[in-house]
């Protein structure tokens, strides 16, 4: 697995906080841990992202963060898609972020097989049924074989 | 007889291959299935884990050029308006489909007669009806009988998925507009059924169902088929079909997972490799193409969506994905609209957050800076997606050809796709998105996002080995037998003369069963190699 060196993590931190600053009661990307533990989790889930991330961070390493983001978003330096998926993907893996959003994640809730049956009793489908068939009659059916 | 020769070899372990294998095995035939990929790795089905969306964007990516799994082959789509999507492995593209289970409508089989375009099918809705009933049992279809957009039909084996808040809001809006809707029909178990378990509503259907609720043949068919003696060979890359001097096929040449060249001999060969893979094999074999139509008439369903964002919490991260409901209000032709044929709408929950925040369906730029938080709070749990599937009419210039520049891991040529979206489909999409914006406003959406003609949407592959009665204008006969090679069959969506405007898997499976039934019925008269 490609390691992400501390100096490149610092580059990522600057970019990440431009993309996701602290606002509206939400932590910044860095406060959420994107350049550190969450980056490790991202790369563990998606090892294919590590090498292209290193490449793009190296390409903008001498830019200040705002300039790096501007150049990436303009396509002057390729690889914004990689940075975006790492930063947003890592951020949305944060338990703190999920808690602030009130998002429980994909908690399992087995379907209620009677849900639509109750809908029928409520009469929700009645107007659809009352309007009758809407499919187009087809001539010559049943005579083709 | 050669001890290694079997009654039938099937290429491809997707829905058509699985249904065919079931029918042939039940008739006592010996069957081998060659599948270029492996079994799906459900350890990568990460719904409920924080890394779900990151893993899904690679491991379950619908585009083989992105996924680059061992069973994939190169598909050059640089000259196509739509990218071809597929899953190459046991279960076929049903492993990644959303399981929307839609019967083609009666008019779909009669577009020449009714609308003066394309071709009528050599079979009718009524011919397929008993096979629809049977495959709905095989694929654990959940739904509600009585949809007035279709002729009366047998009830599916399971009750429909819930409407939840998203579906109810959509249904109420359509009722106020006086427009058609019906609870969704899905190949998703709403109760434990056979090997399947009841859906846990993780919005993960196309990204590895974590609980085994979604019906794909790796779960619904192949474990039992293998137990019943069907030999499933994974990692088998078909190079070409083997022929006899008398013009029959004698078997299938393939490269096994160890790189060894092998031949599986059989009395009949059945291609179920989808409308990209099947013409790839036929073209590479130089067979069944006296009509010149192998690879031509590719149809992929121009696809768009209309997203609504609401002030209220709809818990739209939950649900099957999987359709809550569909509408066929504007499905049938009305020439006053400026186009022929129509489109299906279906309503979906919007799911997990990452896809909402990256460039793509929710905007070309993504939302960054403080806007990231604004957009995230507005969208997560508070959005719903209508999708539009436009009927794609056949055009001989839309085609699949062998690519001289690429090969797969076994050295078998890749393919190139040449495809342009028609003016008819463009007019159709514009009309339907305009109508759906009205629906979203009626639902109470405060923001709408309309995406017409999404390029990465070629899930529905059809038409490249068309069926018909005339060998001059078709590749296979009405039961899938190649006009040129009487013991070679195509039983996948390649044979479809037209595409309908609904999801095709139900009809692919039903038609495969109809043709397999005919093959069994006519077995005594089948011409086979000496």
Mean pLDDT of chain A: 93
pLDDT tens sequence across B214-229: 999 999 999 999 999 9
ipTM > 0.85, yes or no: yes
pTM of the complete model: 0.97
Q: Any idea where the domains of chain B sit in the sequence?
A: 2-41+63-349+382-525
Per the CB < 8 Å rule, is A42 touching B54? Answer: yes
Low-confidence ranges of chain B (pLDDT < 50): 1
- pLDDT value of position A145: 28
Our CA-based measurement puts residue B295 at a distance from the nearest CA of chain A, in whole angstroms, of 26
- Residue B77 has which token pair? 């789509």
Task: Collect all residues of chain A within an 8 Å Cβ-Cβ radius of residue B191.
Answer: 113
Instruction: Give the minimum alpha-carbon distance from B228 to chain A in angstroms, rounded to a whole number.
Output: 32
Partner A contacted by B137 (CB < 8 A)? no
Q: Closest by alpha carbon to B274, among B491, B502, B59, B456?
A: B491
pLDDT in tens, A51-62: 999 999 999 999
Query: Is pLDDT of A119 > 90?
Result: no
Closest CA to B101 of B61, B66, B151, B138: B138
Residue that is written with structure tokens 């049938």 in the block: B332
The strand ranges marked E within B354-465 are 383-390, 399-407, 413-419, 447-451
- What CA–CA distance (Å, rounded) separates B234 from B37? 6
- B11 Cβ contact list (under 8 Å, min separation 6): B17, B33, B34, B238, B252, B269, B270, B271, B272, B273, B277, B278, B281
Distance (Å) from the alpha carbon of A6 to chain B's nearest alpha carbon? 23
Nearest to A111 among B121, B125, B190 (CB): B190
Name every residue whose Cβ is closer than 8 Å to that of residue A82 and which is 6 or more positions away in sequence: A49, A52, A53, A56
Q: Which CATH architecture has domain B2-41+63-349+382-525?
A: 3-Layer(bba) Sandwich (3.50)
Q: What percent of chain A has pLDDT over 90?
A: 83
> Residues of A numbered 90-129 whose beta carbons fall under 8 angstroms of chain B's beta carbons: which are they?
92-93, 95, 98, 101-103, 105-117, 119, 124-125, 127-129
User: Distance between CA atoms of B201 and B404, rounded to whole angstroms?
Assistant: 44
DSSP classification of residue A38: I
A20/B contact by beta carbon, under 8 A: yes
Instruction: Scan residues 279-318 of B and list those with Cβ closer than 8 Å to A.
Output: 317-318
Separation between Cα atoms, residue B289 and residue B241, nearest integer Å: 14
The answer to whether B62 and B206 are in contact (CB under 8 A) is yes
- Contact state of B57 with A85 under an 8 Å Cβ cutoff: yes
B266: which strand partners? B6
Helix ranges (DSSP H) in chain A? 6-19, 29-32, 39-45, 50-59, 65-74, 80-91, 95-101, 115-122, 126-131
Per-residue pLDDT tens digits for A81-113: 999 999 999 999 999 999 999 999 988 999 999
């Amino acid at each position: 697995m490609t390691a992400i060196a501390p100096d490149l993590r610092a580059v990522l931190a600057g970019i990440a906080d431009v993309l996701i600053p602290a606002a509206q009661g939400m932590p910044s990307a860095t406060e959420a841990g994107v350049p550190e533990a969450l980056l490790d989790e991202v790369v563990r889930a998606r090892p294919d992202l590590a090498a292209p991330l290193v490449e793009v961070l190296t390409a903008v390493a001498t830019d200040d963060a705002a300039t790096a983001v501007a150049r990436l978003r303009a396509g002057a330096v390729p690889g914004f898609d990689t940075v975006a998926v790492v930063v947003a993907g890592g951020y949305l893996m944060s338990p703190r972020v999920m808690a602030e959003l009130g998002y429980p994640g994909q908690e399992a809730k087995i379907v209620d097989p009677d849900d639509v049956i109750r809908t029928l009793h409520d009469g929700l489908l009645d107007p659809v049924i009352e309007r009758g068939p809407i499919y187009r009659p087809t001539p010559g059916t049943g005579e083709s074989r | 007889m050669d001890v290694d020769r079997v009654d039938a070899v099937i290429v491809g372990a997707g829905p058509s291959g699985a249904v065919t294998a079931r029918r042939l095995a039940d008739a006592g035939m010996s069957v081998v299935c060659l599948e270029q990929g492996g079994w799906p790795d459900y350890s990568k089905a990460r719904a409920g884990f924080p890394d779900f969306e990151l893993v899904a964007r690679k491991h379950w990516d619908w585009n083989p050029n992105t996924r680059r799994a061992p069973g994939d082959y190169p598909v050059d789509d640089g000259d196509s308006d739509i990218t071809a999507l597929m899953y190459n492995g046991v279960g076929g593209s049903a492993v990644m489909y959303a399981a929307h289970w839609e019967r083609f409508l009666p008019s779909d089989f009669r577009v020449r007669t009714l609308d003066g375009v394309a071709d009528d099918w050599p079979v009718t809705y009524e011919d397929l009806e008993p096979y629809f009933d049977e495959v709905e049992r095989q694929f654990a279809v959940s739904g509600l009988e009585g949809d007035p957009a279709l002729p009366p039909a047998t009830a599916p084996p399971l009750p429909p998925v819930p409407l939840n808040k998203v579906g109810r809001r959509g249904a109420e809006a359509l009722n106020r507009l006086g427009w058609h809707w019906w609870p969704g029909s899905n190949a998703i178990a709403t109760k434990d059924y056979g090997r399947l378990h009841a859906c846990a509503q993780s919005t993960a259907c196309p990204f590895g169902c974590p609980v085994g609720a979604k019906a794909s043949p790796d779960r619904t068919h192949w474990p039992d088929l293998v137990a019943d003696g069907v030999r499933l060979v994974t990692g088998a890359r078909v190079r070409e079909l083997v022929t006899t001097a008398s013009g029959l096929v004698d078997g299938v040449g393939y490269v096994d997972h160890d790189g060894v060249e092998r031949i599986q001999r059989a009395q009949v060969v059945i291609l179920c490799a989808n409308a990209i893979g099947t013409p790839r094999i036929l073209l590479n074999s130089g067979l069944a193409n006296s009509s010149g139509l192998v690879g031509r008439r590719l149809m992929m369903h121009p696809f768009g969506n209309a997203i609504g964002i609401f002030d209220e919490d709809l818990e739209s991260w939950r649900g099957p994905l999987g359709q809550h409901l569909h509408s066929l209000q504007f499905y049938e032709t009305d020439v006053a609209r400026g186009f022929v044929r129509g489109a299906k709408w279906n309503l979906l929950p919007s799911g997990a957050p990452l896809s909402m925040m990256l460039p793509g369906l929710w905007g070309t730029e993504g939302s960054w800076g403080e806007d990231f938080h604004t957009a995230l709070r507005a969208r997560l749990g508070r959005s719903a997606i209508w999708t539009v599937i436009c009927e794609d009419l056949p055009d001989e210039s839309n085609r699949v050809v062998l690519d001289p520049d690429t090969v797969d891991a076994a050295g078998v040529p890749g393919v190139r796709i040449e495809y342009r979206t028609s003016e008819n489909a463009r007019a159709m999409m514009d009309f339907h998105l305009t109508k759906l914006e009205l629906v979203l406003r009626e639902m109470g959406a405060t923001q709408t996002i309309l995406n017409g003609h999404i390029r990465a949407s070629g899930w529905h592959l059809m038409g490249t080995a068309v069926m018909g009665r005339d060998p001059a204008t078709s590749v296979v006969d009405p039961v899938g037998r190649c006009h040129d090679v009487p013991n070679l069959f195509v039983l996948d969506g390649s044979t479809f003369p037209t595409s309908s405007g609904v999801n095709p898997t139900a009809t692919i499976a039903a038609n495969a069963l109809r043709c397999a039934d005919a093959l069994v019925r006519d077995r005594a008269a089948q011409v086979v190699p000496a």
